[in-house]
Chains A and B, each alone.
Chain A
Amino acid sequence: MAANYWESSQFQRFLLTRYELAEIESIHMLQHLTTVDVTHLKIYFSNLMLRIGKRLRARQETIATAIIYFKRFYINNSLYDIDPYLMAATCMYLACKTEECPHHIKHIWGESKAAIAEVSADIKFQYEIPDIAECESYLLEEMKFYLVVYHPYQVLIDLNEHIKLPKSSLQAAWSIINDSYCTNAILIYPPHVIAVASLFLSRVIDQGILGDLDAQQWFADLNVDITDILQVVNDMIELYHTWKSYADDKIPDLVQKYIADLAAVA
Chain B
Amino acid sequence: MTTPKAVFGEDINKETESLYKKQRKLGEGTYAVVYQGQHIKTGRTVAIKKIKIGNMRSGLDMSAIREVKALQELRHPNVIELVDVFSHKTNLNLVLEFLDTDLEIVIKDKSLFFMPADIKSWMMMALRGLDHCHKCWLLHRDLKPNNLLIASDGQLKLADFGLAREFGDVKRAMTSQTVTRWYRAPELLLGASNYTGAIDIWAMGCIFAELLLRTPYLPGESDIDQLTVIFKARGTPTEDDWPGMSKLPAVFKFDKHPRPQFSDLFRGSSEDAVGLMNQMLSFNPSSRVSAADALNHPYFTNLPRPTKPAKLPRPKKEEEEAADIDSTSGARKRQLHDAFSEDGDVFGGKAINTADGPAAPKRMDMRISSPA
Contacts and interface: CB of A to CB of B under 8 A. Distances in A.
- Same complex for A and B? Answer yes
A100 B163 CA distance: 11
Contacts of B18: none
A131 B85 CA distance: 22
A35 interface: no
Contacts of B349: none
B297 to A, nearest CB: 23
A3 B92 CA distance: 27
Interface in B292-341: none
B361 interface: no
A219 interface: no
B70 interface: yes
Interface in A79-110: 80-83, 86, 93-94, 97-98, 100-102, 104-105
B290 to A, nearest CB: 14
B137 A82 contact: no
B3 to A, nearest CB: 6
A132 interface: yes
B166 A144 contact: no
Nearest to B5: A81
Given A100-B372, A133-B59, A137-B59, A1 B136 contact: yes
A1 B70 contact: yes
B-side interface size class: 35 or more
B72 A145 contact: yes
A147 B69 contact: yes
A125 to B, nearest CB: 12
A142 B7 contact: yes
A2 B168 contact: yes
A171 interface: no
Contacts of B13: 141
Interface of B: 1-3, 5, 7-10, 12-13, 56-60, 62, 65, 68-70, 72-75, 85-87, 90, 92, 135-138, 165-166, 168, 172, 174, 371-372
Question: Top 7 closest A-B pairs, CB basis?
Answer: A142-B9, A141-B9, A76-B8, A145-B85, A133-B59, A136-B59, A147-B69
